[in-house]
Amino acid sequence: MSVETQVNFMSKLPVPEHIRHALKNNSIALVKWLMLGILIGLTMGVIGSLFHLSLEWAGEMRAAYPWLLYLLPLGGLAIVGAYRLTGMSDDRGTEMVLSSIRSGERLHLRTAPLIFCSTVVTHLLGGSAGREGAALQLGGSVSSAIGRFFHLDERDERIMTMCGMAAGFSALFGTPISAAIFAMEVESVGVMYYAAIVPCLLASLLAQRVALFFGIAPTGFLVTGAPELDAEAMIPVILMGILCGILANLFCRVLRLGGKLYDKITKNPWLRAALGGGIIIVLTLLSGTRDYNGAGMEVIRGALAGQAVPYAFVLKMIFTALTLNAGFKGGEIVPSFFVGATFGCVAAPLLGLSPSFGGAVAMIAVFCGVTNAPMTSILLGYELFIGVGIEPMALIAAISYMTSGYHSLYHEQKILYSKIRPKFINTFSGDETEE
């Protein structure tokens, strides 16, 4: 049978109606999400790049003018005032973004300028905070508003929120694949929203390309001393994973404790912000260094080069808990990198591992423990360290995930399945769980 005859024969084959219907629906959905993914990627690429550049400016100003630290209480009052004036005093930050994915809770567009400006103020004046949490709120609120503009239904709006989260994270950190997976993985532990994979990946990749256009290089680190995953290295690798899981659980508990301590003193947001700013000033002066103000990326780089103060991870947890619970804005992810990197750098030589490698794997493993996002963590390790030591890093992250318990940076994170057995538990992060 000739090729022409075969083509004619195939074209005359009857196609069942349900297959035609499925192909039509899938094609329409693909085109829709490709277009929306491009829109979100370009939009959040620009916004995320401006946010990144603004935070860089804030860090430079803080280093050039150390006296800005003494304005931190005033900055806290300004943040509280801004949220009150805009009717957002009950804003729950990233918690609200996660809730919107699960329950359809509506995000407000005014969240974007509020979190943008308040995070810059926090970094400018020396609060201890990250940036990725703010990026998630930026992306979630902007993309949710775009979804409403196009009159998408509630379920599609949730995918839009995830797209925005992925694009915001990617533009700021330059890790597009892990950013996309994180947006789909973080809300419900044990279940991923695969329906969002095409728009999340597309938006994330485009946002990173836009950031490159603005001259923002992807975040990356050099790591040395990665061991072969053989019998000799197995015991120290397993021990490092266990220690990182315990540390991740401790970090989450310290963050919760910071809020409880403020509640015992005052629940007035104005007094809380002013008091928190004053406490950070005093602690900074007592520590004799500015290493714990801002995000601390230089300290992270130092730890991955093999240099860290033994108690740095403890102080960073305290500074971050007191900053964020006072009402200052930012995020907890980069502080978790700081905590992991400095701890790993110090602990690794005690286990017979390289301090550089120890800082790298602990950074990823603590992130995994505090977010309960193992797939994201493994991909993040690959993107940040160009695949160096990825096998032991993946194992350490997995062990940290299992041993970190059911606490998280986000109380709104839903733990659907047990970490130690195939069992549906359906509880929130931090709640008591019966296995």
Domain CATH for 159? 1.10.3080.10
Cβ-proximal residues to 431 (8 Å cutoff; 6+ apart), any chain: 406
**Same-domain check for residues 85 and 112:** yes
**Does 76 fall in a domain?**
yes
Domain count, the chain: 2
Question: 428: which strand partners?
Answer: 414
**Does 300 fall in a domain?**
yes
Q: Is 191 left (phi over 0), alpha (psi -120 to 50) or beta?
A: beta
**Same-domain check for residues 320 and 397:** yes
- Give tens-digit pLDDT for 39-95: 999 999 999 999 999 999 999 999 999 999 999 999 999 999 999 999 888 888 888
Q: What is the mean pLDDT of residues 278-292?
A: 97
**Same-domain check for residues 262 and 176:** no
**Same-domain check for residues 167 and 271:** no
Cβ-proximal residues to 405 (8 Å cutoff; 6+ apart), any chain: 245, 249
**Same-domain check for residues 202 and 325:** no
**Same-domain check for residues 143 and 170:** yes
Copy the structure tokens of residue 325: 């619970």
- Give tens-digit pLDDT for 359-400: 999 999 999 999 999 999 999 999 999 999 999 999 999 999
**Same-domain check for residues 361 and 299:** yes
Q: What is the mean pLDDT of residues 288-314?
A: 96
Question: 189: which strand partners?
Answer: 415
Strand order in the sheet with 414-417: 188-189, 414-417, 424-428
pLDDT at position 201 over 70:
yes
Return the higher-pLDDT residue of 273 and 411.
273
417: containing domain: 231-428
pLDDT at position 303 over 80:
yes
**Same-domain check for residues 135 and 187:** yes
Concatenating the DSSP letter of every residue in 344-370 gives HHHHGGGGT--HHHHHHHHHHHHHHHH
Give the per-residue pLDDT at 401: 96
**Does 9 fall in a domain?**
no
**Does 242 fall in a domain?**
yes
**Same-domain check for residues 249 and 371:** yes
Question: 427: which strand partners?
Answer: 415
Distance in angstroms (rounded) separating the CA atoms of residues 43 and 45: 5
**Same-domain check for residues 195 and 290:** no
- Give tens-digit pLDDT for 208-260: 999 999 999 999 999 999 998 888 889 999 999 999 999 999 999 999 999 99
- Give tens-digit pLDDT for 129-169: 998 888 999 999 999 999 999 999 888 999 999 999 999 99
Tokens 């990326």 -> residue: 297
Distance in angstroms (rounded) separating the CA atoms of residues 50 and 52: 5
Pairing between β-strand 414-417 and β-strand 188-189 as defined by DSSP bridges: parallel
Coil/strand/helix, residue 199? helix
Give the per-residue pLDDT at 190: 86
**Same-domain check for residues 297 and 263:** yes
Distance in angstroms (rounded) separating the CA atoms of residues 267 and 272: 7
Pairing between β-strand 188-189 and β-strand 424-428 as defined by DSSP bridges: unpaired
- For residue 247, CA distances in Å to 61, 332, 391, 419 come to 33, 14, 21, 17
Give the per-residue pLDDT at 5: 57
- Quick one: CA dihedral 255, 257, 260, 265, positive or negative? negative
**Same-domain check for residues 240 and 91:** no
Contact 306, 265 (CB under 8 A): no
Copy the structure tokens of residue 142: 């902007």
Cβ-proximal residues to 60 (8 Å cutoff; 6+ apart), any chain: none
pLDDT at position 14 over 80:
no
